[in-house]
């Protein structure tokens, strides 16, 4: 499983489209352990660019703080599940919580 998390200052970015980097984290489905992590600088933020870019990297899930409805639709069209309302914490902690089914999602703060 491959999970993407938008990052600003080392933690989850509250506003998806304004992140500095993406943490791309690979997880073993069976053991639920993180097997790899890389930090990547995304291409310029324009409608449709990030869904295609992350789709080409075989990302299956995005854990985000806030994301607009149109962006969510574009990710869904690229077979990428979007989880909004995550807390601004470190990427590995978010993935661990997701895998343990303890990730608490709040309100999508960027719903435009």
**What digits encode the pLDDT tens for the residues 37-65?**
999 999 987 778 898 999 999 999 999 99
Give the contacts of 102 (CB within 8 A, at least 6 positions apart): none
| Global confidence as pTM | 0.91
**Nearest alpha carbon to residue 23 among 109, 95, 79, 76:** 95
| Residues 63 and 55: beta-carbon distance below 8 Å | no
Confidence of residue 22 (pLDDT cuts 50, 70, 90): very high
Query: Which class in CATH covers the domain with range 2-99?
Result: alpha beta
Q: For 62-104, what is each residue's pLDDT tens digit?
A: 999 988 888 899 999 989 999 999 998 999 999 999 999 999 9
């Amino acid at each position: 499983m491959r999970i993407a998390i938008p990052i600003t200052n080392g933690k989850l970015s509250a506003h998806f489209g304004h992140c500095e980097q993406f943490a791309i984290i690979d997880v073993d489905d069976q053991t639920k352990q993180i097997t790899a992590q890389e930090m990547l600088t995304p291409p310029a933020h324009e409608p449709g660019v990030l869904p295609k870019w992350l789709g080409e990297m075989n990302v299956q899930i995005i854990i985000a703080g806030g994301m607009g409805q149109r962006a969510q639709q574009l990710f869904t069209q690229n077979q990428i599940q979007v989880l909004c309302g995550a807390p601004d914490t470190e990427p590995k902690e978010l993935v661990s919580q997701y895998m343990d089914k303890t990730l608490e999602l709040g309100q999508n703060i960027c719903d435009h």
